[in-house]
Amino acid sequence: MEPFLEELRKCVHCGICLPQCPTYRVLGEEMDSPRGRIYLMRAVAEGRIEPTRTYARHLDLCLGCRACETACPSGVRFGSLLETARGELRRQGPPPGRRLLDRFIYALFPEPGRIGAALGLLRLYRRSGLSRLVRATGALKLVPRLAAMEGLLGEVERAEPLPSLIPARGRRRGRVGLLTGCVQRHLYPGVNRATARVLALAGWEVVVPRTQGCCGALELHAGRIDDFRARARRLVATFGGDIDWVVTNAAGCGSAMKEYGHWVPEATGLAARTRDVTELLADAELPLGPLELTVTYHDPCHLVHGQRVRQEPRALLRRIPGLRLVELVESDLCCGSAGVYNILEPAIARELLELKMARIVESGARVVATGNPGCLMQIAQGVRARGLDVAVVHPVELLARAADAYQG
């Protein structure tokens, strides 16, 4: 506990992080701010208070967005403090009233095979007309978390796996391994296709190991540290030493993988070789044709705060001829997705989505680009709810479209 306490004591209670904290903005409670949560964690760690249900609730309400880390002049690493504190709490079991839901979430989301099967059932449920019937009866409103989960999913197409090797085009720069992600591979297979295609155009040979599992991000953020460590070790075995970089196109996965070394010493090497796709493409020569689009960019929390990747996606989008990039006000304020937060805390997630949607409408853009499947889903849900004519895409999808438009 000593390093944990030392980190907690770095907080000088200045309050600079408070206006940046989404839960403080929505709830207006000191104990739902970074400073309040640090105060509570420290009081528990020093044995001055018990880790009561109220304490656990304040930690559960945190999005883990890490906006407070970006704001903090003392360099408090709030993300790992939260993960450690949640890890201690999880030893006592899941929060009361959430035992079944927790079991369901952690049995499903980190298991790509099970996600594929569940989405197959969902397609059947929708095609059979049963979903319309259930909606008409209003039954889903009685189970808000189930309604939140159903509402998140737009059209769900069957996903074809990528080939296990995609050769480099032009001058070869090296070999990368692509993490296809548990959610990304099933819900956004087009993002993985675009990622592989653009990387190949940039001169990278792309390896897509068939046996790859989950990176463990969801478990890390929930404090399920033992499960997270086991997944990290399996991923180290999957991406061997013959790969120059391991590329992610999901901010949550990249952020967790870059921090492997903190939790799993033998995964330090993999952490050092992990890059977001926009980082790796930053200095690449790409054949890009014109796209006449007005685009705005939403910063995924785990890219901008977790990995400090802010300029690379914007710079790449600006390289597309004809594309007009308009800045989104408060682009780095969480959209409410935060892993499974929008399922667990739908009311707060909805308020944050409303704030985000108001900014998107204000921007006048017809396309929102963002680099995380959770944000893609959450913002697309906001677009559908408002009936907007706005496309929500990953930046690499725009790059792939621009490559299609290239005339040579």
Residues that bind ligand SF4 (CB under 6 A): 11-17, 20-23, 34-35, 37-38, 62-68, 71-72, 74, 76, 78
Identity of residue 72 = C
Three-state secondary-structure class, residue 361: helix
> d(Cα 331, Cα 32) in Å, to the nearest integer?
22
Q: Is 197 exposed, middle or buried (0-12, 13-18, 19+ CB in 10 A)?
A: buried
Nearer to ligand SF4, 246 or 349 (CB): 349
Place of tokens 């990387």: 199
Q: How far is the CB of 23 from ligand SF4 (least distance, A)?
A: 4
> d(Cα 84, Cα 133) in Å, to the nearest integer?
44
Nearer to ligand SF4, 21 or 218 (CB): 21
Nearer to ligand SF4, 69 or 279 (CB): 69
Identity of residue 339 = G
Q: Which residue(s) pair with 297 in the sheet? A: 369
Q: How far is the CB of 337 from ligand SF4 (least distance, A)?
A: 13
Nearer to ligand SF4, 33 or 363 (CB): 33
Q: How far is the CB of 7 from ligand SF4 (least distance, A)?
A: 10
Nearer to ligand SF4, 14 or 385 (CB): 14
Per DSSP, 161 falls in state: P
Nearer to ligand SF4, 279 or 345 (CB): 345
Q: How far is the CB of 345 from ligand SF4 (least distance, A)?
A: 11
Q: How far is the CB of 64 from ligand SF4 (least distance, A)?
A: 5
Three-state secondary-structure class, residue 245: strand
**69 in Cβ contact with 305 (< 8 Å):** yes
Nearer to ligand SF4, 20 or 255 (CB): 20
Q: How far is the CB of 70 from ligand SF4 (least distance, A)?
A: 9
Please choose, from the candidates 68, 1, 75, 70, the residue with its C-alpha nearest in 3D space to the C-alpha of residue 41. Answer: 1
Encoded tokens for 65: 């967005």
Nearer to ligand SF4, 76 or 267 (CB): 76
Q: Give the rounded distance of the alpha carbon of 333 from its chain centre.
A: 13
Please calculate the CA angle 332-335-340 and round it to the nearest 5 degrees: 125
Identity of residue 94 = P
Q: How far is the CB of 317 from ligand SF4 (least distance, A)?
A: 26
Q: How far is the CB of 284 from ligand SF4 (least distance, A)?
A: 32
Q: How far is the CB of 17 from ligand SF4 (least distance, A)?
A: 3
Exposure string for 373-401, b = 16+ CB within 10 A, e = fewer: bbbbbbbbbbbeeeeeebbbbbbbbbbbb
- Going by C-beta distance under 8 Å and a sequence separation of 6 or more, which residues neighbour residue 188? 373, 376, 394
**147 in Cβ contact with 141 (< 8 Å):** yes
Per DSSP, 247 falls in state: E
Nearer to ligand SF4, 85 or 281 (CB): 85
